[in-house]
Amino acid sequence: RERMYRLLDLYAQGYDQEFPVVCMDEKSKQLIIDIRGTLALKPGSPSKYDYEYKRNGTRNIFVAVEPLAGKRTMKVTGTRKKSDFAHFVKELVDDDYPQAQKIKLVLDNLNTHFPSSFYETFSKQEADRILDRIEFYYTPKHGSWLNMAEIEINMMDRQCLARRIGEAEKLETEINCWSRKRNEAKKKIQWSFTRQDADHKLFKHYVA
């Protein structure tokens, strides 16, 4: 409950460019190659594909979204190791938010999402520098729905990934194109679930 309250209080704050609220999560995508090809979409007839396919490995997709600014950053990686996470956050700090005093980063409890990942990846001096620019906000266990990055991933699944993609390069191109269009349109996320809503709907599950 304390973690939920901390997140909901964070979401209730106004936009602050110096202290941006950034929600982050990952998604795994199976690469699938059509063996027989597809029949193209025609007026009055949807596209068709054969049930046979070939697996071509998987890719991890990092998603970081700033709901109040309508800004998102995405990266496709071959693995989802601690070093991948550490490098992605470093890029957020140095490339996407160089002027921010501190990034308020919302995460779930995946074992890579902790300060130790930075010390295992970078020198102590570099890890300290990056972590000094980050303030972590963790969702409750079994409460990852409180991370707005899941909303962005759901939109990505529906609008971009709901089809077979067989090559990593194609996947990266499609995701970059989709995210760029959403950034240009400044697509924001309007969060409406408040601390009062939580107390009204979930109080029966609270532990004294």
pLDDT digits (tens, 9 = 90+) for 51-69: 565 676 889 999 999 999 9
**What's at 125, amino acid-wise?**
Q
pLDDT tens-digit map of 26-58: 999 988 776 666 656 678 777 665 556 567 688
Percent of the chain with pLDDT strictly greater than 90: 78
Beta bridge partners of 53: 34
Q: How is residue 131 written in tokens? A: 């972590």
Confidence at residue 76, expressed as pLDDT on a 0 to 100 scale: 96
Confidence at residue 207, expressed as pLDDT on a 0 to 100 scale: 82
**What's at 175, amino acid-wise?**
I
Q: CA 198, 199, 204, 206: dihedral to nearest 10 degrees?
A: 90
pLDDT tens, N- to C-terminus, the chain (208 residues) = 999 999 999 999 999 999 999 999 999 998 877 666 665 667 877 766 555 656 768 899 999 999 999 999 999 999 999 999 999 999 999 999 999 999 999 999 999 999 999 999 999 999 999 999 999 999 998 899 999 999 999 999 999 988 878 888 999 999 999 999 999 999 999 999 999 999 999 888 888 7
Confidence at residue 32, expressed as pLDDT on a 0 to 100 scale: 77
- Which whole-number Å values give the CA distances from 3 to 90, 108, 117, 140, 202, in the listed order? 25, 11, 22, 6, 14
